[in-house]
Amino acid sequence: MAIKNRKGIFYTYFAPFKTRQIGLKLDAKTKSEAKQIEAMILRACRTGNYSALDGAGREACIRMYGSKGWELPPELGGMIQSVPRKNLTLWEAVQLFMGYPETKAKSEKALDRYDQAFLNLAEILGKGTALKDLWIPDLKEYQVNRVSKGAAASTVNIELSALSRVFAVMVEMQLVETNPVRLVKRLSTKSNEREVYLSRETVKSIADKCPAWYQRIIWTAYFSGMRKGEILSLSRRQVNLSKRLIYLEPEDTKENRRKRVPIHRELIPILEEAMRTPFLASDKVFLVQDSQGIRTLGIDTVGNPWPRACSALEEAELLKQPFPRFHDLRHTWRTNARRSGIDYQIAESIMGHWFKGKSVNDRYGRISDQELIQAIDKMTFDHGETEIFVTQRNQASSGEKPEHFLNICGHKGVQKRKKTQALS
């Protein structure tokens, strides 16, 4: 038996059943604590009594049984259950993955992303498909299928990354031998690059076609530059209207860093109205309120209003494809910030990009709350007509090169499309 410290993480190498030695990562802060957990697991395994395990010992023991594909003792049952390798389906693997300790420790936002990815994967690959039967051609076919249905290359890449994590965990549990996703080349996102600016009138046209509860989400994105996920997970305790600041914790942001978002004056009444919606079961700022009552936001609920509004405007000949996307509101905020003369570092800190590749001078400089409020008060939100600049790859057999399209929407909804010179 031995305890090893590898970059601050403790591992035990021991033989819990007096057979061959195995390695196991321990959730311990010191070597003495790791030895205590090791001793608890040894005693439990050799006596068959797991009731004396504390939280760290129980978690490690469950992980050990799961990684080896052993059947869990009744005292540890219900968290991870062994599945015979020959019968393991895609959906059974997903359930095992979602119950894995490291997965369960993820943030709610990350788990929601996994849920959506697995639903799309199961729809095409099939819930009952044997995991060991999935191989490179199946995954490449999945890529083609998703893209043909309108999914962005980046979305498909995220979904396959989620599947890769499932395979990785199943390999750890010795339920499959290889991870074929690692052998599949990621789709290039260059062919779907977008440069978008949405006029205030265009945003209002789309918002007017959406239900009132969703309009608040749209205008929050428009006035704050926040990501959709940041907005949907926003709780009331994170919004300080008196200080005019929104506080996001590392688990709430894509960059995993704290962020302060100043509240523009026009956003104050929108947030006040959202937080007046009473719902004791949740402290979320944004809730669905319709004929079915008040409830928390779901993936399908949040995803539908925007495309439906765009389709309605297209039918009224007020909008043409390519349609604006919700995320374009974030790009629009950045453009409005620049055109309003907002300091670059302040704008980037609000968006969350500022932390990436900061210089030494930037890292040791702090932007005060007052500077954030002064910047947002300086910001204006109508700096021209809508422009949607999309690089699209011509998939016709003629072999034509990608082309640029410029989509321009006037304030009155009049829209023109102009094809520009093909890329060399």
Fold classification of 85-192 is DNA polymerase; domain 1 (1.10.150)
191 pLDDT higher than 70: no
Q: Do domains 85-192 and 194-378 have the same CATH topology?
A: no
- The widest CA-to-CA distance across the chain, in whole angstroms, is 79
Q: What mean pLDDT value characterizes the chain? A: 82
Rounded average pLDDT over 304-319:
91
- pTM for this predicted structure: 0.60
pLDDT per residue as tens digits for the range 61-97: 888 887 777 777 777 764 444 444 457 899 999 999 9
- Please count the residues of the chain: 424
Here the tokens at position 321 are: 């494809």
C-alpha neighbours within 13 Å on the C-beta side of residue 184: 25
pLDDT per residue as tens digits for the range 253-295: 888 788 999 999 999 999 999 998 777 778 899 998 888 888 8
Fold classification of 194-378 is hpI Integrase; Chain A (1.10.443)
- Neighbouring CB atoms inside 10 A of 253's CB total 19
Contact status, residue 40 vs residue 54, Cβ threshold 8 Å: yes
Quote the Cα angle for 392-396-398, to 5°. 115
Residue 144: the pLDDT is 93
Which residues make Cβ contacts (< 8 Å) with residue 246, sequence separation at least 6?
A: 224, 226, 234, 238, 239, 240, 260, 261, 262, 263
Segments making up each domain of the chain, as ranges? 2-76, 85-192, 194-378
334 pLDDT higher than 50: yes
Among 64, 8, 75, 76, CA closest to 37: 64
The sign of the dihedral angle between the CA atoms of 240, 241, 245, 246 is positive
Segment (H or E) for 389:
strand 386-392
Here the tokens at position 214 are: 């969703």
